C-alpha cells in the first residue's frame, strides 16, 4: 500500500530516504530550506556523491513519485506521514544539538493534522520522541498525534545499498497500531523489522554506533600492543573475524581512529545521556579517549625515525574521514595534520575527493596539492591517512624518486608491505612489524 510522505530535510539522510521510499512506491515530497539544494535535487542530482543516488532520484522524479520543494506547506499537502530527517550535530558540550529539529517541529505545528504520523529519522537522545508527542498533543488541544522513532543505519558511500538491503529496520512507537503503520512503509524490503517502544529505539541507534566505535578502539588498542610486542595486528584481526561470534564484517581494521559525522557525535551524545541519567559510562569514555590518542601514533612513529621533526616536509595523503568519500567532518586525518603542524612539521596534503577547506577544517599552514606526486615532492616522509582506493594504485617507485628520504607511514594499513619495501621505502604500519631499513 503506497502512502503520501513528506520528508523534512533533504540533506544526506533525507535525500537518500526520500528517493528510496519513492522507489518503494510511495509518493514523496522532500522539503529543504536550502533553495539551491532543492533546485539541484529537482535536476535529479544530489548535492553530494552516493552510488546510485542520482539514478534513484532521477528515476522517481520521472515517475512522478518524488518531488522537492522549499515550501513546507507544499510538502505537507495530503501527507499521510511526515519524516523528520534534519541534522542533530554534536554541540560543544558533547550532547546532541536539537535546534534544527525543534525549528522544523515548530514550523510543522500549524500544518500538522492530528491524523498525520510524525516519524523521527534523525538520531535523537532517549526521550526526545516522547517530548515531541507531548508537544504535538499540546498543540492540538489534547488530541494525540502518533510519533514514531525510525533511526537510520546508513553508511556514507553505501547509503542507497544500506537503505535498500538493510540488516534490519528499527521502529519505536508508543502503541502497536502506530508501530505497524510505520513498519508498513517498508513493505517490499524483505528484512527483519524490529518494532519496540520509543525509548528502546532511540537508545538502540546510539548503542549500534557506540558498539562500532568500541570495536575500532579495541583493535587500535590491540595494534598498539602489537607494536610493542612484535605481533602483527593484521593476523590478529583476520583470526578474530573468523570467529562466528565476531564475523567477517566486524570493524577490526586498525588505523588512526574513527571519524565522520556520526560515530564521534553519537558516542559523545550517549556519554552525555548516561551522565545525565546518573550513570558513569566508564567504557564509553575510554572508547572516546583511545580514539583521541590514536592519531598521535603517527607523530610518535615520525619522532622515532627522525631525531628532530621540526622543519620536516611531510606529505599526508588523505583528508576525508574514510576512503572514497568527500566528507572531512571529524576526520582523523585532520587530527594527524593538526598534530604534525603543531609539532613544527611542514605538511603537504592531498585528497582526491575532499580538501577540508569547505568548512574551514584544514588549517592554513598546510599546503594543499593537486595530486599525490606533487604533495610528496621533496618530502622526508609520506603518511597515508585515508583509505582511498586511489592510494592503493600509486606508483611507489615514482613517489620514492621524488622524495628526500623514503619513509612511508601507512596510517590505514592499506598498502602491501612487500611492494613498499621493494620500492626502497622504510615502511611503518599500524600494529605491524616495521619493514625496510
Ligand atoms: C557509521 C555507521 O557505520 C552507520 O551505520 C551509521 O548510520 C552512521 O555512522 P559512517 O559514519 O558512514 O557510518 O562510517 P563508517 O563506514 O562506519 O566508518 C566510520 C569511521 O570508522 C571511519 O573513519 C572509518 O575509517 C573508521 N573505521 C571503520 C575504522 O577505523 N576501522 C574499521 O574497521 C571500520
pLDDT at 365: 85
For the CA of 252, the closest atom of ligand 1 is 33
Q: Decide: 9 in ligand 1 pocket, CB within 6 A.
A: no
Of how many residues is the chain composed?
437
- Mutating to test ligand 1, I would choose from 251, 318, 353, 414 the residue with most ligand atoms within 8 A of its C-beta, which is 251
Mean pLDDT to the nearest integer, 78-104: 94
pLDDT at 81: 98
pLDDT at 333: 97
What is the pLDDT confidence band of residue 8, given thresholds at 50, 70 and 90? Answer: very high
What is the pLDDT confidence band of residue 141, given thresholds at 50, 70 and 90? Answer: confident
Mean pLDDT to the nearest integer, 388-415: 98
Contacts 24+ apart (CB under 8 A), 30-35: 30/6, 30/66, 30/67, 30/68, 30/69, 30/75, 31/6, 31/7, 31/68, 31/69, 31/70, 31/71, 31/72, 31/74, 31/75, 32/68, 32/70, 33/70, 34/10, 34/70, 35/70
For residue 317, what are the contacts with CB-CB under 8 A and spacing of at least 6?
Answer: 349, 350, 351, 372, 375, 376, 382, 383, 384, 385, 386, 388, 391
* C-alpha cell recorded at residue 17: 530516504
Q: Decide: 253 in ligand 1 pocket, CB within 6 A.
A: yes
* Nearest protein CA to atom 17 of ligand 1, as residue: 155
Tens of pLDDT along 214-229? 999 999 999 999 999 9
85: pLDDT strictly greater than 90:
yes
* Nearest protein CA to atom 34 of ligand 1, as residue: 251
Mean pLDDT to the nearest integer, 231-246: 98
Is 226 among the residues known to form the active site?
Answer: no
Tens of pLDDT along 265-279? 999 999 999 999 999
Q: Contact, 10 vs 31, CB < 8 A?
A: yes
Of 214, 273, 333, 360, whose CA–CA distance to 91 is shortest?
273
For the CA of 331, the closest atom of ligand 1 is 23
364: pLDDT strictly greater than 80:
no
- Centre of ligand 1 from the C-alpha of residue 429, in Å: 20
Tens of pLDDT along 326-355? 999 999 999 999 999 999 999 999 999 988
For the CA of 262, the closest atom of ligand 1 is 9
For the CA of 321, the closest atom of ligand 1 is 23
For the chain, give the percent of residues with pLDDT over 90: 92
For the chain, give the percent of residues with pLDDT over 70: 100
For residue 282, what are the contacts with CB-CB under 8 A and spacing of at least 6?
Answer: none
Mean pLDDT to the nearest integer, 373-401: 98
Tens of pLDDT along 193-219? 999 999 999 999 999 999 999 999 999
Tens of pLDDT along 116-130? 999 999 999 999 999
358: pLDDT strictly greater than 80:
no
For the chain, the average pLDDT equals 96
pLDDT at 328: 94
Mean pLDDT to the nearest integer, 131-145: 92
pLDDT at 436: 79
47: pLDDT strictly greater than 90:
no
pLDDT at 24: 97
Task: Tell me which residue has cell 506547506.
Answer: 73
pLDDT at 419: 97
pLDDT at 360: 79
pLDDT at 130: 97
* Nearest protein CA to atom 3 of ligand 1, as residue: 155
Mean pLDDT to the nearest integer, 71-100: 94
Tens of pLDDT along 292-308? 999 999 999 999 999 99
For residue 158, what are the contacts with CB-CB under 8 A and spacing of at least 6?
Answer: 51
The DSSP result for 331-393, as a single string, is -HHHHHHHHHHHTT-EEEEE-SS--STTTT-S-TTSEE-SSHHHHHTT-SEEEE-S--GGGGG
For residue 85, what are the contacts with CB-CB under 8 A and spacing of at least 6?
Answer: 7, 8, 9, 10, 11, 13, 14, 17, 18, 121, 122
What is the pLDDT confidence band of residue 157, given thresholds at 50, 70 and 90? Answer: very high
Q: Decide: 154 in ligand 1 pocket, CB within 6 A.
A: yes
Amino acid at each position: 500500500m503506497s502512502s503520501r510522505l513528506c520528508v523534512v530535510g533533504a540533506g544526506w539522510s533525507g535525500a537518500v530516504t526520500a528517493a528510496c521510499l519513492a522507489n518503494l512506491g510511495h509518493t514523496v515530497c522532500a522539503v529543504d530550506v536550502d533553495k539551491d539544494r532543492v533546485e539541484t535535487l529537482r535536476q535529479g542530482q544530489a548535492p553530494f556523491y552516493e552510488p546510485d543516488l542520482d539514478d534513484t532520484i532521477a528515476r522517481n522524479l520521472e515517475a512522478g513519485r518524488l518531488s522537492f520543494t522549499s515550501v513546507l506547506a507544499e510538502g505537507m499537502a495530503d501527507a499521510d506521514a511526515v519524516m523528520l530527517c534534519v541534522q542533530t550535530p554534536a554541540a560543544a558540550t558533547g550532547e546532541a544539538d536539537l535546534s534544527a529539529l525543534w525549528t522544523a517541529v515548530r514550523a510543522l505545528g500549524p500544518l500538522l493534522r492530528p491524523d498525520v504520523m510524525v516519524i523521527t529519522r534523525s538520531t535523537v537522545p532517549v526521550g526526545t520522541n516522547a517530548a515531541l508527542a507531548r508537544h504535538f498533543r499540546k498543540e492540538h488541544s489534547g488530541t494525540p498525534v502518533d510519533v514514531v522513532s525510525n533511526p537510520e543505519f546508513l553508511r556514507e558511500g553505501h547509503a542507497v545499498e544500506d537503505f535498500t538491503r538493510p540488516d534490519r529496520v528499527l521502529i519505536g512507537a508508543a502503541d502497536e497500531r502506530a508501530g505497524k503503520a510505520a513498519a508498513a512503509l517498508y513493505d517490499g524490503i524483505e528484512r527483519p523489522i524490529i518494532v519496540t517502544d520509543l525509548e528502546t529505539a532511540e537508545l538502540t541507534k546510539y548503542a549500534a554506533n557506540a558498539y562500532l566505535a568500541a570495536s575500532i578502539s579495541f583493535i587500535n588498542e590491540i595494534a598498539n600492543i602489537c607494536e610493542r610486542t612484535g605481533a602483527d595486528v593484521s593476523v590478529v584481526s583476520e583470526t578474530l573475524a573468523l570467529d562466528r561470534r565476531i564475523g567477517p564484517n566486524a570493524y577490526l581494521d586498525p588505523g588512526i581512529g574513527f571519524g565522520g559525522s556520526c560515530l564521534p557525535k553519537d558516542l559523545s551524545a550517549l556519554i552525555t545521556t548516561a551522565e545525565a541519567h546518573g550513570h558513569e559510562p566508564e567504557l564509553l569514555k575510554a572508547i572516546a579517549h583511545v580514539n583521541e590518542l590514536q592519531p598521535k601514533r603517527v607523530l610518535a612513529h615520525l619522532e622515532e625515525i627522525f631525531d628532530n621533526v621540526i622543519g620536516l616536509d611531510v606529505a599526508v595523503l588523505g583528508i576525508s574521514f574514510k576512503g572514497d568519500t568527500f566528507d572531512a567532518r571529524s576526520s582523523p586525518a585532520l587530527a594527524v595534520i593538526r598534530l604534525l603542524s603543531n609539532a613544527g612539521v611542514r605538511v603537504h596534503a592531498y585528497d582526491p575527493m575532499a580538501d577540508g577547506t569547505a568548512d574551514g577544517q584544514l588549517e592554513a599552514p598546510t599546503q594543499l596539492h593537486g595530486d599525490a606526486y606533487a604533495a610528496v615532492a621533496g618530502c622526508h616522509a609520506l603518511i597515508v591517512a585515508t583509505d582511498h582506493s586511489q592510494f592503493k594504485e600509486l606508483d611507489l617507485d615514482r613517489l620514492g624518486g621524488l622524495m628526500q628520504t623514503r619513509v612511508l607511514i601507512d596510517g590505514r594499513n592499506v598498502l602491501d608491505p612487500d611492494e613498499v619495501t621493494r620500492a626502497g621505502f622504510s615502511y611503518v604500519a599500524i600494529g605491524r612489524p616495521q619493514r625496510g631499513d
